[in-house]
Amino acid sequence: MITLLRRLPLSAVLLLALLATPARARAAEPTPESTTVTQVGNPCPISSIQTSDGSTIEFKGRVVVLNFFGTWCGPCNTEMPRLEKDLWAPLKDEGVILVAVGREHSTPEVEKFKTQKGLTFPVAADPKRDTYKHFATQYIPRCVVVGRDGEIKFQSVGFEEKDFTTLVATVKRELAKAR
């Protein structure tokens, strides 16, 4: 066997070694699901959030959408205008609260991003992941819908059209429930 291994190219030897390693011993890449701390039906782990303008938004009895984002994140930059146009603009007068939370961003950074993107909904800074850690350990964008009863009604990771459609439908359904 040793003689055979000496004759094989290094890449073949490495491939044999990898194949001989049990799957459980290989490091698995975390999935969005495995990094999510909360589940639909759970109570929301926070009851308020401080926005970049210094105001505090209380969640009790309100329909709240939290959007966790990064200014550098491509899918986040795709999602933001959709949140503005298809969620915030048509539903803000019906009572939805939408707050975009800048994971690992300072207040000046999220304010600059808000201005550059022409966003009108509130933003919050989360430079040390103090808010984000209650919902996940990694991956953005993330959206969380909290119902009037304080329970999580919907969550998504990444930006996909079908999830966005479900997000908007969930918000509308929650807004239609009696106060």
Those residues whose C-beta lies under 8 Å from the C-beta of residue 86, and which sit 6 or more positions away, are 164, 168
pLDDT in tens, 63-95: 999 999 999 999 999 999 999 999 999 999 999
The average confidence (pLDDT) of the chain is: 89
Nearest to 143 by CA among 163, 114, 128: 163
Query: Does residue 154 lie in a domain region?
Result: yes
Query: Does residue 11 lie in a domain region?
Result: no
9 pLDDT above the threshold of 90: no
Q: Which residues pair with 124 in a beta bridge?
A: 101
Gap between the Cα atoms of 23 and 21, Å rounded: 6
Query: Does residue 15 lie in a domain region?
Result: no
Determine how β-strand 64-69 pairs with β-strand 97-103: parallel
pLDDT in tens, 37-71: 999 999 999 999 999 999 999 999 999 999 999 99
Domain that holds residue 133: 30-176
- The helix or strand, by DSSP H or E, that contains position 170, with its residue range, turns out to be helix 161-176
| Percent over 90 (pLDDT), the chain | 79
Number of domains forming the structure of the chain: 1
| Percent over 70 (pLDDT), the chain | 84
Query: Does residue 148 lie in a domain region?
Result: yes
The predicted pLDDT at position 34 comes to 84
For the domain that residue 116 is a member of, what is the CATH number? 3.40.30.10
Query: Does residue 22 lie in a domain region?
Result: no
- Overall average pLDDT of the 127-145 stretch: 97
**Beta carbons of 91 and 175 less than 8 angstroms apart:** yes
Query: Does residue 7 lie in a domain region?
Result: no
Query: Does residue 88 lie in a domain region?
Result: yes
Query: Does residue 25 lie in a domain region?
Result: no
Burial of 150 per CB tally in 10 Å (0-12, 13-18, 19+): middle
Those residues whose C-beta lies under 8 Å from the C-beta of residue 80, and which sit 6 or more positions away, are 67, 69, 100, 117, 119
The predicted pLDDT at position 7 comes to 55
Gap between the Cα atoms of 1 and 155, Å rounded: 53
The predicted pLDDT at position 109 comes to 98
pLDDT in tens, 111-130: 999 999 999 999 999 999 99
